[in-house]
Structure 1
């Protein structure tokens, strides 16, 4: 909402993932649905 209030409608949200040791990145796929819901469908 804060970004859209400034007039920017080009918003991309991303999940940075979590590192478990060296070169082992894990992403929680459930987070994508939550981000889509709270961002009103923004990619």
Structure 2
């Protein structure tokens, strides 16, 4: 039972790190969009939208 519990813990930790990275990326995109008007105009950034 201990071995199974350890495997589950490892899997949960891996999923948690993936989720945190995913949310950090989303948060970075949202903050980037919020601060976009403050930054000087960039034709490359505008064309990607």
Larger radius of gyration: 2
| Structure ranking higher on relative contact order (CA contacts 8 Å, 6+ apart) | 1
Q: TM-score, normalised by structure 2?
A: 0.27
Q: TM-score, normalised by structure 1?
A: 0.28
